[in-house]
Chains A and B, each alone.
Chain A
Amino acid sequence: MKQLKLPTLKFYTGKSLIIHSVLVALGMGISAFQLIKLNKVKNYNLSLASRSVKVDVVAMPKLSLPELKELAKVKGQIDGDISEPKADPAPKDTTPDTGKEFIKKTETKPKKSLSDLLKQYSDKSVGTSKKKKSKKQLKGSNGQKEISAKMRNKLKDLVYAGNKINDGTSLYGDNGGESAGILQEFSEKIPDAIRPQWKLPSYLIDKDLRCRIRIYLSANGKLLRSEIIESSGDSEYDNRALKAVKETRFPAPPETVSKQAARGDIVLGFPL
């Protein structure tokens, strides 16, 4: 007679331990997965909301309009000086591949949103005791080092311009939702960069001419190609529009839409 081997306690504890640990792992795995999904949705909603909220700087303008124009001109010159020497010595920059490397570089730097920066500025106290001041100053200077000069200038411009309403754009449902919103938002910055170069003599104005130019931008905002997809019928009008495009220093597209920008998804309408 075979003796039934009764399962020992050891056997049961071992097996139950394994089963329980598997269950716990499964439970944790599922909840972690849910959390990731929730965070994704939350971040998406947050980015959507931040792009659709209007930001008004509510203060009387400190600089007059002629001064703002001068500032924009000077800034353009400074930006130009930064970008131009890069273009010439490194012929590699003309190919879009180098652009991808550029993207990788920027991804390592933590990107600060405007709200975070404003929070930082508001955290700085004004006129506290000496001891506290020195501490806060250190903190402030550390914080400021992280902000690029470009971002600081942007904030300064916002304060100077005063009562400039920043358009909240998105909440478009079609064409791939989030990325279309970002592309639209980026595209709307382009007219401000082109407008100073877009000039016509009096005999071409009020003629209801219209042309459309498709632009291909690299990841750092350099114009790769431009083509007229809709001519106005007047060659001088078209040439002036092309000239304005070629003379413009375009802003760099955000990473998520750099592919679309390089693919020529942006079309500029002169005047619309």
Chain B
Amino acid sequence: MFSKLLFIVTFVLSTLSLSAQDNLTVVAVGDAELEQQKITFVSKGLSNELGKQVKSILENDFSFYKNTFKVMNSSDYEGAKFDDFDFYKKKGLSYVIDLSFSGNPLVAEAKIINVSQKGASGSFKKSIFKENLRTLAHELSNDIYKSIIGKDSIFQSKIIFVSDTGSTRRNPFKELYIMDFDGKNTRKLTNHRGTVIGPAISLDGKQVLYSLIRGGNKKRNVNLYVMDLATRKSSLLSSRRGLNTGAVFSPKPGKVILTLSHQGNAEIYEMDINTKEARRLTKSYAPDVDPSINVQGTKLAFLSGRPGKPMIYTMDPSGLEKSVKRVSFIGQFNATPRFNPTGDEIAFSSWLDNRFDIFRINADGTGLYRLTKDFGSNEDPTYSNDGQFIAFSSQRVISRTQAVQNIYIMTRDGEVIGQVTKGFGNCITPRWSK
């Protein structure tokens, strides 16, 4: 009897304990956001002119990363000793960059002081020459950034763009230019006196593609050119009948992807630079234009009119019409889809509220976000090399008959950092080097 009772009790208890088992649900919160940290560039008793310029370039560079760094005015901290960590901590600083300039030729030394770790976490030296002061300052800036964050910054990147500066109504033309990401150091690349459209810069930053519409009354064929940035020599790459436009460099060496219309309507092809042979990628009765390829070369985004309205599609560029997938389903007129460097986001412009605005969507079609609003008509988005920024052209109306287009930079979340071109005619189609 007792054993029976014992058995029953243990049975009941064990079933109870089973039901009371911890069924924990684990939820992933995800990666943390980078906290905005206060940083300041201190240089005691700085009198050297070049040194002052370097310091201001460093401060300007870091101020682009608004969400990561808050650049503080160094005058509040110049009095302290460079190892007075308690003072810095009280002031809320996370990093203090101690700059010193000495010698002839000038050598700049930057010591990164990590306040929370109470010590110097890195030190960089750079010779500064007046002729390419900005380039060297940007290199130093990138070294500091990379030492703190661990990744390359945008400080050494370039933006190519098309501008009509200097052209008149009687003699209109658009030429290709290149500038630093911060809008300085603008240099002219082409001098065809025609209309340059659809530029692209190679991944190594050494070559540039562009299409040209020649001026004059001759029959207009849009031809493709490739230019070597070191020699500034351009050569004709494709002059097939019709369009030879929207070319982008493929990560595969020696290949470009472009839109050709010699076989009827506009389709996308992969072309070899040396053999000039073209391999067809899309086949549809509707026009397929505006190719954009991710850095790995595994995904191609393009604009297609096959559903009736221009919509964004992705495909695998290794085969004809391979894995074609529709990405956008709404929007009256979508244009210029561009991959971010990792290939998981597509920025594009779309017609909404009587103007174009920049939108961002994941490559699988989820997460559609509007990035610009009430900011003029915004087109041609291009991602920065670290995927954190988007440069685009924005049109502002000045008067009833006048409007101007300039290039702006914003974060990938739609916070505008600032205007990059000014007083340089109409600057359009920016392309950021990757």
**Could you tell me which A residues sit within 8 Å of B by CB distance?**
58-69, 162-163, 165, 175-176, 180, 183-184, 187-188, 190-191, 194-196, 198-206, 212, 214, 240, 244, 260, 264-272
Contact = CB atoms under 8 A, between A and B. Distances in A.
B423 interface: no
A183 to B, nearest CB: 6
Contacts of A266: 24-25, 27
What are the nearest 7 A-B pairs in CB distance?
A272-B28, A199-B35, A64-B373, A200-B32, A163-B368, A61-B370, A65-B414
Contacts of B368: 60-61, 162-163
5 contacts: A65-B414, A187-B25, A191-B27, A202-B37, A205-B32
User: Which residue, of A61, A163, A190, has the highest number of chain B Cβ atoms within 10 A?
Assistant: A163
A66 B413 contact: yes
Contact of A271 (B32, B330, B373): B32
B372 A64 contact: yes
Given A58-B330, A59-B330, A200 B26 contact: no
B28 A271 contact: yes
Nearest to B149: A202
Contact of A194 (B29, B329, B415): B29
Given A58-B329, A268-B27, 4 more contacts: A69-B413, A202-B34, A202-B35, A271-B31
A198 B31 CA distance: 8
B371 A65 contact: yes
Given A162-B368, A163-B368, A271 B35 contact: no
Contacts of B35: 199-202
B413 A203 contact: no
B370 A60 contact: yes
Interface in B1-38: 22-35, 37
Interface residues of B, number: 41
Contacts of A176: 23
Contacts of A60: 330-331, 350, 352, 359, 368, 370
B141 interface: no
A196 B32 CA distance: 9
Nearest to A261: B25
Interface of B: 22-35, 37, 68, 94, 114, 116-117, 148-150, 329-331, 350, 352, 357, 359-360, 366, 368-373, 413-415
A65 B26 contact: no
A200 B30 CA distance: 12
B369 to A, nearest CB: 5
Contacts of B28: 191, 269, 271-272
A59 B24 CA distance: 38
A271 B114 CA distance: 25
A216 to B, nearest CB: 12
A180 B26 CA distance: 12
Nearest to A199: B35
Contacts of A188: 27
Given A65-B370, A163-B368, A203-B116, A180 B23 contact: yes
Contacts of B357: 64
B95 to A, nearest CB: 9
Nearest to A183: B25
Chain A CB within 10 Å — which of B116, B370, B373, B413 has the most? B370
Contacts of A63: 370, 373
Contacts of B150: 202, 206
Contact of B34 (A68, A162, A199): A199
Given A203-B114, A265-B24, A66 B29 contact: no
Contacts of A187: 25, 27
A188 B27 CA distance: 7
B366 A165 contact: yes
A64 B414 contact: yes
Contacts of A165: 366
A60 B311 CA distance: 13
A163 B330 contact: yes
A29 B433 CA distance: 78
Nearest to A188: B27
B414 A195 contact: no
B25 A184 contact: yes
A74 to B, nearest CB: 17
B29 A201 contact: no
A222 B357 CA distance: 41
B17 to A, nearest CB: 15
Contact of B30 (A59, A61, A201, A272): A272
Given A60-B350, A175-B23, A202-B68, A195 B30 contact: yes
A155 B24 CA distance: 31
Contact of A66 (B24, B25, B415): B415
A265 B27 contact: no
A260 B20 CA distance: 11
Nearest to A263: B22
Contact of B26 (A68, A206, A244, A267): A267
A97 to B, nearest CB: 21
A163 B28 CA distance: 24
A270 B31 CA distance: 7
A119 B371 CA distance: 31
A198 B32 contact: yes
Given A64-B414, A201-B35, A267 B29 contact: no
A200 B37 CA distance: 10
Contacts of A202: 34-35, 37, 68, 148-150
A268 B330 CA distance: 36
Contact of B29 (A68, A162, A269): A269
Given A184-B25, A187-B25, A265-B23, A64 B330 contact: no
Contact of A267 (B25, B32, B148): B25
Nearest to A175: B23
A98 B117 CA distance: 46
Contacts of B24: 214, 264-267
Contacts of A260: 23
A91 to B, nearest CB: 30
A186 to B, nearest CB: 9
Given A60-B352, A206-B150, A269 B27 contact: yes
Contacts of A184: 25
Contacts of A66: 413-415
